Amino acid sequence: MFKRSVFFVSLILLISTSVFAVIDEIAIFNEQIAWSTLDASEKATNYIVKNVKSAKSIRVLNKVEIADFVKKTYKDRTTDAIILFGYLPETIYEPGNNQKDDSLIEKFINGGNIVVNTGDYIFYVTKGGGKNGENGLKTITNSNFDCILPNFDNYIYKPTAGGRKYAPSLPDEYNSKRPMKKDQIDADKNWEIEISFGTATDGISLVDNQRDLLYRLFDPVVVRSTKTGGRFVVLRQTPRVAPDRGPVISEIIDNYFGLAANTPTALDQNDKITITWGNLKSISR
């Protein structure tokens, strides 16, 4: 009886840390921004601080404080989150992509935590401007992902069913200059699309070196590591005015991550744990 009880408790702990993603602590960095304004980022920040209910704490941190936050939380066995406004603090990632595997930002993601980026291209802008470039995303995620598209302003994005359900503040139509590409993520065994909240309305045919390529373009989107459970979220990556940023970030945190963490039926079909709650109850008997 004792052994079965210990097994039951251990399995519950495993599921809670491996599958669900309720956010414990949130750090917001808006000391420096890109593809936004200080006023707009402050308004979005104030909205998030005032309206998010599912997180234990939300703090606005400067570049020194956010490094301390990462050191404290990246391996504390809870799911924590950082929200960025298009600027990656140099205190958690050395500009120029010289830190291949030991940066604080990569440790944070590999610890099963979440990075949310809105505004400019994720991990691109840092001290010195666009010093990380498109290789910032590639280096930090050890992938071949990029958010580069020709003629990006021509594409109209609309909420998916998930977007309408979890992020109702997404506009009916909107722009994304730097979306994630489904084909790149699908081709990488170490990452998967957990959920897309918005997409270009159709597959988009692009001509590149005489080859016709079909992309599915996602923004907002949650991309999840299949190895560590860490996530990054690309959200409204556009230089255009986007007053919905605060509400959409808040809704994704509360309605998606918060709900998923408290709803047994939210187990993702791609997760490796397939034991049902009924089976768990039978094990405990």
The tens-digit pLDDT sequence of the chain (285 residues) is 444 444 444 444 444 434 456 899 999 999 999 999 999 999 999 999 999 999 999 999 999 999 999 999 999 999 999 999 999 999 999 999 999 999 999 999 999 999 999 999 999 999 999 999 999 999 999 999 999 987 777 788 999 999 999 999 999 999 999 999 999 999 999 999 999 999 987 555 555 544 455 568 999 999 999 999 999 999 999 999 999 999 999 999 999 999 754 443 333 333 333 222 233 222 222
pLDDT of residue 282: 28
Q: In the prediction, which pLDDT does 45 show?
A: 98
CA quadruple 160, 238, 141, 23: dihedral positive or negative?
Answer: negative
pLDDT for 146 equals 97
The residues spanned by each domain of the chain are: 20-266
Angle at 117 between CA 185 and CA 270, to 5 degrees: 35
- For residues 134 and 124, the answer to whether their CB atoms sit within 8 Å is yes
Res 207: pLDDT: 53
How far is Cα 70 from Cα 108, in angstroms, rounded to an integer?
A: 6
Task: Provide the β-strand partners of residue 29.
Answer: 84
Reading across the β-sheet that carries 217-218, which strands appear in turn?
A: 157-159, 198-200, 217-218, 180-181
pTM over 0.85: no
- In sequence order, what DSSP letters do the residues of 1-31 get, joined into one string? -HHHHHHHHHHHHHHHHHT---EEEEEEE-S
**DSSP reduced 3-state for 95:** coil
Nearest-angstrom CA–CA distance, 187 and 213: 14
Architecture of domain 20-266: 3-Layer(aba) Sandwich (3.40)
